[in-house]
């Protein structure tokens, strides 16, 4: 057999295996995001502690920053993470209009209090509501960041964008990438 034909066949076989592996990972990821209990069962094998119906409050310098409730939590001390099923988080904001967030699953990095949630993420205040698939909380910046498409709506407006960053202290939100929206005439600023 010719060397070039052998190399082509090896490259073709390697490409096919890579494609099959990518499809397998994609299908597995979709299954886990649609069935968070499967993720919890998978992680539970390496867990140091499992809790059900948890409640936690985070404070800094005596000021409450957020309160968390979840169906269950799996603590993995070596990785310094806590995996959450069905987290509900209330972020306390300076203006008193707290932000309520729900998701299918989440992770808290126990060393830094950084939080990530995913799966049907929904958040609201008294003035607006937004939805996305993933959201990160940076406690140092007191900022929520969505790197997946986000849809925001209020009484007199709607807005869509590829990403968002919301500062919980200043209540200033930045939207980036394909920003589109509508504003009704009676919007009061």
**For position 62, which CATH number holds?**
2.60.450.10
Residues 26 and 110 in one domain: no
Nearest CA among 38, 39, 27, 24 for reference residue 116: 39
In a domain, 189, yes or no: no
| Structure confidence at residue 31 (pLDDT) | 62
Q: Which tokens is 5 given?
A: 């034909």
In a domain, 21, yes or no: yes
> 6 in helix, strand or coil?
helix
- Local confidence pLDDT in tens for the 189 residues of the chain: 677 888 888 878 787 777 787 777 777 666 666 665 555 555 555 656 677 888 888 888 888 899 999 999 888 888 899 999 999 999 998 888 899 999 999 999 988 889 999 999 999 999 899 999 999 999 999 999 999 999 999 888 899 999 999 999 888 899 999 999 998 876 555
Task: Report residue 100: phi and psi, to 5°.
Answer: -105, 130
Overall domain count for the chain = 2
| Structure confidence at residue 34 (pLDDT) | 63
In a domain, 10, yes or no: yes
Task: Report residue 7: phi and psi, to 5°.
Answer: -65, -45
| Structure confidence at residue 16 (pLDDT) | 77
CA distance 49 to 70: 15
Residues 22 and 55 in one domain: no
| Structure confidence at residue 46 (pLDDT) | 61
Q: 110 - beta bridge partners?
A: none
In tens, the pLDDT along 105-138 reads 999 998 888 999 999 999 999 989 999 999 999 9
CA distance 157 to 173: 15
In a domain, 91, yes or no: yes
Residues 29 and 57 in one domain: no
Residues 61 and 17 in one domain: no
| Structure confidence at residue 49 (pLDDT) | 64
Half-sphere exposure of 61 (CA within 13 A, CB side): 1
CA distance 80 to 23: 30
Residues 97 and 17 in one domain: no
22: domain range?
Answer: 3-34
């Amino acid at each position: 057999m010719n060397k070039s034909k052998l190399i082509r066949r090896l490259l073709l076989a390697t490409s096919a295996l890579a494609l099959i592996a990518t499809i397998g990972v994609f299908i597995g990821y979709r299954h886990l995001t649609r069935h968070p209990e499967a993720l919890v069962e998978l992680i539970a094998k390496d867990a140091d502690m499992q809790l059900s119906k948890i409640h936690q409050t985070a404070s800094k310098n005596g000021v409450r920053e957020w309160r968390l409730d979840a169906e269950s939590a799996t603590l993995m001390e070596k990785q310094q993470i806590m995996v959450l099923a069905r987290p509900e988080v209330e972020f306390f904001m300076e203006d008193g209009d707290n932000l309520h967030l729900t998701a299918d699953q989440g992770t808290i990095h126990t060393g830094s209090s950084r939080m990530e949630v995913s799966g049907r993420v929904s958040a609201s205040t008294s003035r607006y509501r937004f939805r996305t698939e993933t959201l990160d909380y940076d406690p140092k910046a007191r900022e929520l960041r969505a790197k997946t498409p986000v849809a925001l709506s209020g009484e007199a407006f709607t807005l869509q964008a590829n990403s968002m960053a919301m500062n919980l202290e200043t209540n200033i939100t930045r939207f980036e990438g394909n920003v589109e929206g509508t504003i009704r005439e009676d919007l009061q600023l």
